[in-house]
Structure 1
Amino acid sequence: MLVSKSNIELINQRLEYLYDNFNIEPSTEEVQIGDEDIFIGFPDEWDEANSDYSVEDFLRYTEGLDNIQVIDNHSVIVGNIRQTIISVNEYYYEYWVPDLKFETEKYSLRIISNPFLIGIIASRDGIYNEDFGVYPCSDYKVVEIVYKKEKPSEEEDIEFIKTCLYYIASKYDVPISIGEFRSWDDITDEENDATIIVGSSELIPYCRAMDYYIEGLSIEKEDIKYLHLYKIIEYFSPIVSKKASYEQLNKRLDALQVVERDSEYLESIFKLTKQYEVSLKDKELANTVLNECVDIALLFQFLPDKIQKTLSKSCHFEVKNIASLSSSTIEVIKKEIADILYATRNSIVHAKSNYTVTGKECSEEDLEQLNEFMVKLCECLFVWNGRQSKEFQLK
């Protein structure tokens, strides 16, 4: 399709609408009869070579722009077209995955780059910043759906998209998932040219769990990030348990100077051994590190608000008074938090069809906040490890 006498007026009207409502920069060249493409001036866009759209696509994408819909932070719908952002390694996708098109009675789906609808929403909403390398259109690859019939429910759309993404991932061994609009960290306007000197006293000795920590921070999916951070609990817990058990055992042996070595004394040694074995069970790992390595009164503030309220109610205390609670109450709180961490871990690891909910699991909506708590907990574990003697310090 070319620009013609019959469509040039409509094209110009829609371009004006984009200029007025979506922060699209007007082209320096007017649309001419016979043109094959329409240029879209996305702001701060580096890849202008790919900002040309065929006349046919332009008319499809701009049909009904006054009713454009943005779904969550990942999708835009206009008329019978939906574009949903995907997260995938661009190089591997281009290298391994052929041009695919999925066809069903309800949908026609394909994967495209430089998505028009995503680009105009990013332009309209200011989701771009050239200084940080965030571009409104060329940054994205999307699933584009064309509805063949009346639009199904949002749940059906997402299920179909994920079905197609699974096909790609399993067929071509390329991790791919629904993504979201990009963002960048806020910074102050002040520039700090001073060099900050970090001395050896400020550095924590390296241990392998730091690799898990860094990997976890780089993961965007909150459930996978949680599992990476939980691995750090699993990493430290055995040595924490061993150290605690050795200290208790040494105290018992020290007591031989003042007490009789009778059957009751020997039985107490057996009990210590049993306690140590119990502490190594999966269910007890989080409880072990919470008991021995952190001050939960200080970390409590980083838990999700919902969990804080639940614990304050079940353990009968006010959050503001947590620092003055008795040691016995603190132990109960630690055990409750450990149960929450363990239950949340299990709910992610095990398939939903095989998992029985305990009621202690952190909700999906609060998982991001729980991960903030996990980050602080892990940092405490690194500090704890750094001040241990070589006998108990993990590398």
Structure 2
Amino acid sequence: MVIVVGTGAGGGIIARELAKNGINVTIFEKGPYIKSKDAFNYYDAYNKGVDLLTTTCIGGSTIVSMSNMVRALDSELLDYGIDLTEAYEYVEDLLNVHDLDDSHIGKGTQLFLDAANELGLKTMKMPKAIREEDCIQCGRCAFGCPADAKWSGKDFVDEAVEAGATLITDAEVLSVSLKDVEAHGIVYVKDGERKVMRDDIVILAAGAIGSTLILRQTGIDAGEELFIDPFVTVGGYLKDINFNTEVQMAGLVVGKNFVLSPHFSSFIRQNIVYDDVEDKDILSIMVKTPDECKGKIYNDGSIFKENTIEDIRYLAEGVATAGMILEKAGVDPTTIGSTFYRGAHPGGTAKIGDVVDSNLETGISNLFVCDASVLPISPGKPPILTILALAKRLADYIIKNK
């Protein structure tokens, strides 16, 4: 009855909820089914102008995320009649979203929290979906998880399959097939062969780029706008801090135009002139900002991104604040430097109120989109929990009305 395209934050929970409610679900994933510990091998490559962090494998980008779970865009979504309160509570309970136990707050993270507090900044622990009893504190959150201690979309896909859903991997969906003005299945390629599957409802959750390309091939204009969450990592030398082995992004500073979180990057080492510097001697902070939706996706999947004056100003504010925190935490100020500019969480390519309505349905009946594509503006913070809540709301809508 339902085809779900994509296995990240949106696709995973939709498939789970529908399957557990007795609905026939077929899940399509462009990449392979892998072990979480191998996820770092599946990062995507983009054009040289944009260093964007996404993956193509089971779980999508959630499998290399830090499993950060913060609410975002609440008031903005209310403007479209979308109240996620109940959905948030359901998802947070399902994933056991919580602040990490003190046993998993390392020395570097605690220095970050203490220094930011001393500077009068709005500071908190990062809510996460991590099982401390399984976490080995290896610092490799962005590579996958060797201990399977953090949630990813893969977990929900596994539950959906256990409840009767069918999973088809290594299959690229090209377009949605139509009957009159209704979705009637998909066209996809697997093992080099072009195939068609018929079904009543199609939900695209293939990420901002993947869903955009499918929408275009279906005749829906999408991807003429694009936001990403720009970020850099700022860090320096602090002898034997061993921050590189801590749970990453376990603390959070919320500014007006940026968020900061302790995050290790080996690229910082190249900025430090000391001969004996090692990864264990680096303390660093990720600076992440919202950006204006100035970009687009080309038909070959490559992207163009324009940075506005506001984008640059917000990033500069965050970098300056991160430098203050690092110096207060004891980092040698003469060694503080930054990584190059990167991006994460692409979205805004099929916005609510533009390409989809408040129920995430397109102008084609029974064709829905549920991933970061639909977000109306850049959240400037991790969007996973918001996408999960939107997906839970959509699943409820389909169960009730379709």
Same fold (TM over 0.5): no
Greater RCO, CA 8 A, separation 6+: 2
Q: Name the one with the larger helix percent.
A: 1
TM-score (norm 2): 0.23
Q: Name the one with the larger strand percent.
A: 2
Q: Which structure would you say has the larger Rg?
A: 1
